Amino acid sequence: YLGIFALVTLLAVAVAFLMSRRLQRGLTEPLDAMAVLARAIVTRRDYSLRVEKTSDDEIGVVVDAFNNMLEEVGIRSSALESANRALEDSNRALTEEVEVRKSTQAALDVATARLDSTLAAAEIGTWLWDIEKNDFTADKNLTALYGLDEHALNGSPDLHYGHIHPGDLEAVQ
């Protein structure tokens, strides 16, 4: 009886070992392969890697879903990288444009200051007339020539006309 018991026990252990190997090949190995691949993807950021499908059962479906997910993540990652490159290019171009505008504004400020000092030295006054709004704006040189406050001529052109010699008024108008 002891021999039969030992034989049945040995046979049961052998069958259990074979079944565990089959389960390991069918279940654990694909899951381990996905885990190893996931670590490689995180490390290298290479979404072209795939897990090899070894069966068409539930684990095969999980492997297919994992590979399809990697495909989608790869596509979206590529699109995101392209968008980031385009955004960086756009930011670089905008930064360059801002620098050009700043230098242009600085040059304009220098030219305006030079013109203002030249007009003041020559005692020349200037003015702008917005015809649509019928708004007259005189610079400080023109108001100084008339002996008025800086903003005394701003507004209606009639304010300016009131300071023109009557003999010259028709020609100015």
- Total count of residues recorded for the chain: 173
As a whole number of Å, the end-to-end CA separation of the chain is 135
Name beta bridge partners: 130: 135
Could you report the per-residue pLDDT of 33-79, keeping only the tens digit for each? Answer: 889 999 999 899 888 889 988 888 888 898 899 999 999 999 999 99
Q: For residue range 86-137, what is the model confidence (pLDDT) as tens digits?
A: 999 999 999 999 999 999 999 999 999 999 899 999 999 999 999 999 999 9
Which of 123, 132, 134 shows the shortest CA–CA distance to 160? Answer: 134
pLDDT of 92: 96
pLDDT, tens digit, for every residue of 22-43?
A: 877 777 888 888 899 999 998 9
8 A C-beta contact, residue 29 and residue 62: no
- pLDDT tier for residue 85 given thresholds of 50, 70 and 90: very high
User: What integer best gives the mean pLDDT of the chain?
Assistant: 91
Say whether pLDDT at 155 is over 80.
yes
pTM for the complete prediction?
Answer: 0.48
Which residues contact residue 52 at a Cβ distance below 8 angstroms, ignoring those fewer than 6 apart?
Answer: 33, 63
